Every structure is written in structure tokens, then in C-alpha cells.
Amino acid sequence: MSTTVQKWGNSLGIRIPSQIAERIAISQGSEVDLVVSDDHTLIVIPNKKKPTLEELLAQCKPENRHDELEFGVEGKELL
């Protein structure tokens, strides 16, 4: 399948046909990485979904947590 490169502001843009977008699971607002190979082939790689705070916190386990650190008191901080 081919498409046409068009001007978009000061950049160039290409439209991704809906069949291809569905196949690689991207939609409007999806982030992608652009890679140019040694033979000047453009490769579009969909970024994985960024984890939510809840997903990140679920990875916190007792074995990968560190102990609280004491830095002492300097100046006139209120504790």
C-alpha cells in the first residue's frame, strides 16, 4: 500500500491507512518511534502504552523497597 507525503506546518506528514493502523493497534494520539535503517528504510514502531501509577505501584514489593534514610536536620526546618 502506498500513501503521499504532505506538508504539515513546517514538517512533513504521512497518513496511515485505517487497515494498517488497526493491524498495528494505533489510533489518533498514539505515540510511535521512527527509525531509519542503514538502507534508508523508514520504520514506524508503536510505543507501548505508558503504565499508570497504579500499575507502577503494583510492582513495589517488600523485597525491592529500601529502608528509610535519615538525612538529619539543617537550618530551621519545621518537623
Other Cβ atoms closer than 10 A to 77: 6
CA distance 48 to 65: 26
pLDDT beyond 80 at 20: yes
pLDDT in tens, 21-63: 999 989 998 999 999 999 999 999 998 877 889 988 999 888 8
Q: What is the CATH number of domain 6-63?
A: 2.10.260.10
Buried b (16+ CB within 10 A) or exposed e, 13-39: eeebeeeeeeeeebeeeeeeeeeeeee
E strands along 1-79, which residues? 6-8, 11-13, 32-36, 42-46
